[in-house]
Amino acid sequence: MKPTDIRNPDYFHKVVDCQWACPAHTPVPEYIRLIAAKRYTDAYLINWKSNVFPGILGRTCDRPCEPACRRGRVEEEPVAICRLKRVAADNKEDSVAALMPAPAAKKNGKRVACIGAGPASLTVARDLLAIGYEVHIFDGDAKAGGMVRTQIPRFRLPESVIDEEVGYITRLEPVLHLGERVDSLKAFLAQGWDAVFVGTGAPRGRDLKLPGQAECAANIHIGIDWLSNVSFEHIHTIGKRVIVLGGGNTAMDCCRTSRRLGGEDVKVIVRSGFDEMKASPWEKEDAMHEGIPILNFLNPREFTHENGKLTGVWFTKMHWVEEGGKKKLVPSGEPDVHYECDDVLMAVGQENAFPWIERDLGMTFDKWDMPVVDQVTMQSSIANVFFGGDAAFGPKNIIWAVAHGHEAAVSIDLLLTGEDVKQRPGPGVTIASTKMGIHEWAYDNDPSLDHRFRVPQVEPEVALRNVKVEVEKGFDPLLGFKEARRCLNCDVQTVFAADLCIECDACVDICPMDCITFTENGEETALREHLKAPALNLTQDLYIADGLKTGRIMAKDEDVCLHCGLCAERCPTGAWDMQQFYLEMTHAGCSSAPKAKPAPQPVGAK
Amino acid sequence: MTYIAKPPLHHPSLEKNALGFTRRDYEGRISTLCAGCGHDSISAAIIQACFEIDLAPHRLAKFSGIGCSSKTPDYFVSPAHGFNAVHGRMPSVLTGANIASKDLIYLGVSGDGDSASIGLGQFAHAVRRGVNMTYIVENNGVYGLTKGQFSATSDKGSKAKKGAENKDSPIDLVMLALQLGATYVGRSFSGDKTQLVPLIKGALHHKGAAIIDVLSPCVAFNNHVGSTKSFDYVREHNEAVNRLDVISPRAPIRAEYAPGELKEVVQHDGSTLRLRKIEEEYDPSDRNAALGYLARKATEGEIVTGLLYVDPAAHDLHDSLNTVDTPLNKLRDVDLIPPVSALEKINSGLR
Ligand SMILES: Cc1cc2nc3c(=O)[nH]c(=O)nc-3n(C[C@H](O)[C@H](O)[C@H](O)COP(=O)(O)OP(=O)(O)OC[C@H]3O[C@@H](n4cnc5c(N)ncnc54)[C@H](O)[C@@H]3O)c2cc1C
Ligand SMILES: Cc1ncc(C[n+]2csc(CCOP(=O)(O)OP(=O)(O)O)c2C)c(N)n1
Ligand code: SF4
Ligand code: SF4
Ligand code: SF4
Ligand SMILES: [Mg+2]
């Protein structure tokens, strides 16, 4: 294998599994260490800079970082990265706002419009306002926040948290046009914006339109419309027996909300099996914990009704079959089953809808009638119109909306400063030794053996009484500290200097995870099998260094390294060093920053 | 040393042996030796060997004298028995324990100072008596613990860290052991575990005095240019005569090699030593030829490593003394104290 180029920021970035997996590339381990050090405000600011909504995301994020977390491969469960974010948000000082950028003192004269006031648009606005753009935000709703405000139930996310974090953006003085729907993009573009960002989400809930539906329409609701009506306090009750159709997170919010509005016998009924459901495992767990059964392999066929009132639903039983090597869900042939109910909530998917974008505008739409949007620049086929969030590539989640927002803001800034939107600015990277003494490091290198801590919750009896009672209490500072200590500090990199190594094997012998091997070089597949421990996780790189006296190579499997620093402590020559790698995405306004490249320097270097 | 303990977390693919233990279960406390010390690699090799031969930790008895090397039994197989003797006196303490309790597996760990300087006499007698033991000398050519004075194995002309030259002739513990009748003799290098681990395994299986001289560079006092015990020097002058594989008594033996390529030696306990020749003329079953070869190579400045001599049918001290099968410390009073009638019988014969 070729020696690893550790000067390429991607190499060490990939070692920080959580940060690499986070769409916004939040520097996770650094904020976790700050939480352990009780520096909540600093931890919050790192998050705020990167993901804009730490308090909201600390309660609701889809957390792609957690399945990626190294800890999950070392013991049973990953670090509770998401809920630690909330610890920072809950415990930060009130003065945090003073540390955020103030409204730009000087405007640059460029006017940008954001359509929709969801997380994607708000991110674009934050990034551009701080550097002098005049940003106008339009939304049909009366308050900013998008689906974060209208869809996510209050028992998961109190409105005060939304107000606070939306407030950190509105204090930068965007021009808000709330209650103003945009009905024609053509007319809108004619207003002469320098750039337009479309962050209108995926607002349409799918409707099954089954037989019997029209006759009892009053008892059959589209999940997302019903949830927003609950949020707006237009709806306060539901029937005693409720069936929720669908297996995604919206279904989970619908059923749990029903339990709080008077639903006593609430069921979730899903076409597929339990494991194939789209809802996150923790959402399913929370629903079942509230006494909501999930029934699988049942496809709704027809609504039954009496005197214009819904009485129940007929279901066809389904099962998986293999067809041409593909798994297919088909009726199993067993007799259909009927479940009685008073109300049905349909949560079977969300769609984009752009009736307000004229198709003769010159914007290219694909065969699914979605605007063609560049995956990196977020640019549409009209040069100054950008998309992001659910509006860009279909429904995703908040953290993706934020990541899109950052990229779109970078593009808008590049475009409006006359640069090429395709020339993306590189990340800001620093790498520095953490060595403080022979056995002392600037981080806590002794890995905690604790298993994942559970977030304390209020009693179900209390929680189910009111839709506004937040179920999770959050980690208190002590639990937060203990959970934070579970982080393996994956950003503290093992950096190797072959010219210092005397091949004494001390690092090989001490490494608890058998990461390090000195061996003859070879081709990757063979090499992976012949290391001290087989390196079978192909998603994880091998760190290869040549230049050793014996002509062998050093091969380190990054997969399950604890970043405990024992290799560096046992090395007699300082050939291993533990160096903190800090990577920050470059946001708008920093686009002329030089493409930073780390230059690792072992402390023992001669 | 390090401040933090080695975390018990381990690689997900870590294997278990026949007893259900992982290699990590054979570890000891965290080493207090200098970072990079060859002795730590030897401890790692002992751990690996004990794991691979499915040794029940409580069946191992570790003995050592004084020195950095002699501290190491604390750093492997914590649940084993152990005794840390005074400087150079480990062989007689081990001999005594072995006489009393023959059913344990004896491992002596010593240094070149402990065995070739102050303890030379003790070393010689334990070997010539054929005590059933594995005796590992962690040979760095200096008294590491007392900051690097030349030891008796230091080569003539080898330079100390500050330039002083050793003027005395070295003692070659391998040649000495061969002369004294050791029945399993090997030499290896702390930086070559593929060679060292099988040598230790074979020795633990061997019945009789098994001596392994392991060159083990002292990073603090004897790893400089001019030293003949440094990593670089040993790597440059290392001449392995053979490669060893050890097959445990119960493991199936497969013969899948061309005849003549390999030599198999079955030891007393049924373990098989499978030797692959590297040096064509070398014969590890011929003690005198081995001595000649080693002497010749020593004058050429080469360090001969590998399994240098083995007598698979060796007898040990218990055979010579004709002791009973039951370990002496397990004999009951009735077995040991003759009745009054026996005394009377003797007395009457003398009247
Ligand atoms: C029930 C439910 C629960 C969810 N829970 C989570 C969760 O826990 N975690 C998570 O990460 N994600 C969750 N999501 C998904 C998340 O809410 C969205 O992915 C995210 O809000 C998308 O952000 P956005 O900025 O793209 O658009 P949105 O948040 O959808 O905001 C779009 C805004 O645009 C406005 N708008 C639309 N068209 C126009 C127009 N023509 N003119 C003016 N304004 C317009 C809308 O009124 C809306 O306010 C959930 C979604 C649902 C439905
Ligand atoms: C009776 C006695 N004499 C002298 C000493 C001092 N002393 C301690 S260790 C040592 C030499 C150890 O050398 P070696 O066996 O080679 O061990 P190393 O530290 O090199 O591994 C000496 C002379 C002592 N502890 N006891
Ligand atoms: S252990 Fe910490 S740094 Fe490593 S992936 Fe998990 S959260 Fe990230
Ligand atoms: S930091 Fe070093 S010793 Fe610790 S697990 Fe990683 S490679 Fe092994
Ligand atoms: S401990 Fe240091 S000198 Fe020894 S092999 Fe490892 S990197 Fe090389
Ligand atoms: Mg010594």
Interchain contact, B9 vs A512, CB within 8 Å: yes
In a domain, A316, yes or no: yes
In a domain, A505, yes or no: no
Question: Which one of B7, B13, B36 has the shortest CB-CB distance to A562?
Answer: B7
pLDDT at A439: 86
Is A227 found in the same domain as A116?
no
Say how many domains are in chain B: 1
Is A147 found in the same domain as A190?
yes
Question: Which one of A445, A508, A513 has the shortest CB-CB distance to B11?
Answer: A513
pLDDT at A191: 97
In a domain, A242, yes or no: yes
Q: How far apart are CA A29 and CA A475, in angstroms?
A: 18
pLDDT at B282: 93
Which amino acid residue places its CA nearest to atom 5 of ligand 5?
A503
Say how many domains are in chain A: 2
Tokens of A373: 């949007």
Residue to mutate (ligand 1; options A57, A60, A123, A148; most atoms within 8 A of CB) = A148
In a domain, B333, yes or no: no
Of A349, A375, A406, which one is at a domain's C-terminal end? A349
pLDDT at A275: 95
Q: Give the ligand whose atoms come closest to the C-alpha of residue A29.
A: 3
Of A349, A375, A407, which one is at a domain's C-terminal end? A349
Ligand 5 binding pocket, CB closer than 6 Å: A 501-507, 570-573, 575-576; B 36
Residue B238 sits in which domain range? 23-326
Across residues B158-182, what is the average pLDDT?
96
Residue to test with chain A: of B1, B6, B9, most A Cβ within 10 A: B9
- Name the β-bridge partners of B243: B276
In a domain, A163, yes or no: yes
Residues whose CB falls within 8 Å of the CB of residue A560, separated by 6 or more in sequence, listed in order: A70, A73, A74, A513, A515, B11, B12
Q: How far apart are CA A241 and CA A315, in angstroms?
A: 16
Is A216 found in the same domain as A191?
no
CATH number at residue A263: 3.50.50.60
pLDDT at B253: 55
In a 13 Å sphere around the CA of B281, the CA atoms on its Cβ side amount to 6
Is A234 found in the same domain as A329?
yes
Residues of chain A with pLDDT under 50: 591-606
Q: Which atom of ligand 3 is nearest to the CA of A70?
A: 5
Beta-sheet pairing, B262-266 with B272-277: antiparallel
pLDDT at B331: 95
Based on its alpha-carbon atoms, the radius of gyration of chain B, rounded to whole angstroms, reads 21
Q: Residue A23: how many CB atoms within 10 A of its CB? A: 20
| Interface membership of B195 toward A (CB under 8 Å) | no
pLDDT digits (tens, 9 = 90+) for B10-49: 999 999 999 999 999 999 999 999 999 999 999 999 999 9
CA of B140 vs chain A CAs: smallest distance (Å): 14
| Interface membership of B3 toward A (CB under 8 Å) | yes
Is A305 found in the same domain as A365?
no
Is A344 found in the same domain as A358?
no
Taking Cα atoms as reference points, which of A393, A379, A387 lies closest to residue A421?
A379
Is A373 found in the same domain as A312?
no
Q: How far apart are CA A490 and CA A497, in angstroms?
A: 19
Q: How far apart are CA A562 and CA A448, in angstroms?
A: 10
Across residues B155-174, what is the average pLDDT?
96
In a domain, B332, yes or no: no
| Interface membership of A445 toward B (CB under 8 Å) | yes
Residue A255 sits in which domain range? 205-349
Interchain contact, A506 vs B40, CB within 8 Å: yes
In a domain, A361, yes or no: yes
Higher pLDDT, residue A595 or B336: B336
Taking Cα atoms as reference points, which of A61, A62, A79 lies closest to residue A70?
A79
CATH number at residue B252: 3.40.50.970
Residue pair B43/B75 in contact by the 8 Å Cβ criterion: yes
Q: How far apart are CA A196 and CA A128, in angstroms?
A: 12
Across residues B40-65, what is the average pLDDT?
98
Q: How far apart are CA A218 and CA B199, in angstroms?
A: 84
In a domain, A219, yes or no: yes
Is A320 found in the same domain as A210?
yes
pLDDT at A590: 62
Indicate whether B252 pLDDT > 70. no
pLDDT at A593: 44
Query: How much is the pTM?
Result: 0.92
What single-letter amino acid sits at A418? G
Is A365 found in the same domain as A339?
no
Is A230 found in the same domain as A274?
yes
In a domain, B281, yes or no: yes
In a domain, B343, yes or no: no
In a domain, A302, yes or no: yes
pLDDT digits (tens, 9 = 90+) for A306-353: 999 999 999 999 999 998 889 999 999 999 999 999 999 999 999 898
pLDDT digits (tens, 9 = 90+) for B193-215: 999 999 999 999 999 999 999 99
Mean of pLDDT over chain B:
94
Helix segments in A175-293, DSSP class H: 185-189, 223-231, 249-260, 281-289
Q: Is B84 exposed, middle or buried (0-12, 13-18, 19+ CB in 10 A)?
A: middle
Interchain contact, A513 vs B193, CB within 8 Å: no
Is A228 found in the same domain as A335?
yes
Ligand 6 mean position, distance from CA B144 (Å) = 5
pLDDT at B121: 97
Is A375 found in the same domain as A342?
no
In a domain, A526, yes or no: no
Of A317, A349, A381, which one is at a domain's C-terminal end? A349
